[in-house]
Amino acid sequence: MYIYDEALDMINPLEGYSSEAEQPELLMSLDELCGRQLPMRAEKRRLKSDQSEAMENLVHILISDRLLELSRYVWLDPASKMIRADRSTLEQNGYQLEIF
């Protein structure tokens, strides 16, 4: 239905076919070819990656929160190889200390 015109460096419909306005768009435009639209697979991978990253950030925040709470009561001293716990503050805040 189309023919390439070397002189004009264009693709035109063959004679006898309806005009371009009446025909559906069969060829991709330069914008469509060079556009930044990702294929569906890449979008799904990116979405999964974003969800995975969000979950990882959430876990990181939750672990950081727990460690911050623990650091209020417990100190590790690697030099003397001692673990110190503030039993009175733990009990005041509703915790129980169990050593086993």
Of the pLDDT bands very low, low, confident and very high (cuts 50, 70, 90), residue 12 is confident
CB 11 within 8 A of CB 3: yes
Distance CA 62, CA 49 (A): 20
CB 37 within 8 A of CB 21: no
Mean pLDDT throughout 6-19?
Answer: 74
pLDDT at site 36: 62
Residue 14, amino acid? L
Cα-based angle 48, 52, 53 (whole degrees, multiple of 5)? 120
Per-residue DSSP letter, 14 = P
- pTM as predicted: 0.43
pLDDT tens figures, 36-86: 655 666 666 777 778 888 899 999 999 999 999 999 999 999 999 999 999
In terms of pLDDT, which residue wins out, 50 or 27? 50
Share of the chain residues as helix, strand and coil, in percent rounded to the nearest 5 = 45, 15, 40
pLDDT at site 40: 63
